[in-house]
Amino acid sequence: MAGFAGNLALASGVTLSLLFGMILVLALAVIFILESPNPIAGLFAAVVFTLVFNIVAFFLSPWLMDLSQRWLYQTRWVSLAEVESQSPEAAKVIQYVCAEKQLKQPRLGIIDDQNPTAFTYGSLPNSARLVVSQGLFTYLDDDEIATVYAHELGHIVHWDFAVMTVASTLVQITYLIYITARRLGRSGSEKARDAAQSAALIAYGFYLVGTYLLLYLSRTREYFADHFAAETTGNPNALSRALVKIAYGIVEEGKREQEPSRLIEGTRALGIYDSKAAASSGTAYRIAAQPEQVGRVFLWDLFNP
């Protein structure tokens, strides 16, 4: 695991460094567009703005996410006893990992949606949130649910949720700067308009690059969370079955809905399974006479990242 941890740290460091750099460049561009008379002061202001904004965003984002979870998905915050009533094995895993890693129990949430998914978010490990949908309990068996909880706890242990919270915020800032620069390009002198339009184009390009960096980091952290879950539960087969059944559940629920699920679309970067990749795996599970054989494909992917 030491080598894996090193690769995860490298992926996180490179991604965040690039995102921070893009924010700094865009902040400087906006300052120069506004024709700051003192470029040195402008540079200092850009650095301070970038640091202060992201520090504030880091600590405020969990509470902002709480509000959005409540508003968009009607998330219910529940006790460990309620989780235990639906999955005794999952409750045992939560207690074991928290005791073993000396973590405070994360705030546990359940969304009353039959699309199976799970995700974590927060700023510090001892203030983490671990949210699952009711569909997870519908489509998965007890041991499979336990591996999903172990997977999400792996994100907390590795600080992945915190890194993703910061990275997601940075990507959103690039989009905000794009919108701001585009609006600036509609007024002012011709020189200022041209500069603002150029900045808007660069900002949008950075937004696209940032989105792909975010997906790369998300994919990388999923590999390590999978390994953590397999090692913690000692049941990689249950994890592979869980991933197949989650894909199957997303496909089945999608057939019953006229529009794409807001939950699945809105939590794509944070969720345990990418909805865009669910169709092939979910269909394979549905038609397979022995779904365990499909799970072996995930086992190969799990241990050969």
DSSP string, 197-225: HHHHHHHHHHHHHHHHHHHHHHHHHHHHH
Q: What is the DSSP letter of 125?
A: G
Which among 145-159, 211-225, 263-277 has the top mean pLDDT? 145-159
The Cα 104–Cα 147 span in angstroms is 19
Read off the pLDDT of residues 139-160 as tens digits, 9 standing for 90 and up: 999 999 999 999 999 999 988 8
| Neighbouring residues of 77: CB distance < 8 A, sequence distance ≥ 6 | 107, 108, 109
Q: Band the pLDDT of 99: cuts 50, 70, 90.
A: very high
pLDDT at 77 over 70: yes
What is the average pLDDT across 102-108?
94
Q: How confident is the model at residue 88 (pLDDT cuts 50, 70, 90)?
A: very high
pLDDT at 131: 94
Distance from C-alpha of 277 to C-alpha of 281, rounded to nearest angstrom: 7
Q: Which of 165, 123, 160, 168 minimizes the C-alpha distance to 23?
A: 168
**What backbone phi and psi angles, to 5 degrees, belong to 114?**
-80, -5
257/74 Cα distance (integer angstroms): 18
Cα–Cα distance, 17 to 167 (Å, whole number) = 10
What is the CA angle 209-6-147, rounded to 5? 85
Whether residue 251 has pLDDT greater than 80:
yes
Q: Which SS3 state, helix, strand or coil, does residue 154 take?
A: helix
Say what the pTM is: 0.69
Residue 5 confidence class, pLDDT cut points 50, 70, 90:
very low
d(CA 190, CA 275): 45
The phi-psi region of residue 132 (left if phi > 0; otherwise alpha if psi is between -120 and 50; otherwise beta) is beta
Q: What angle do CA 132, 282, 243 make, to 5 degrees?
A: 45
Q: How far apart are the first and last CA of the chain?
A: 13
pLDDT at 137: 96
Confidence of residue 124 (pLDDT cuts 50, 70, 90): confident
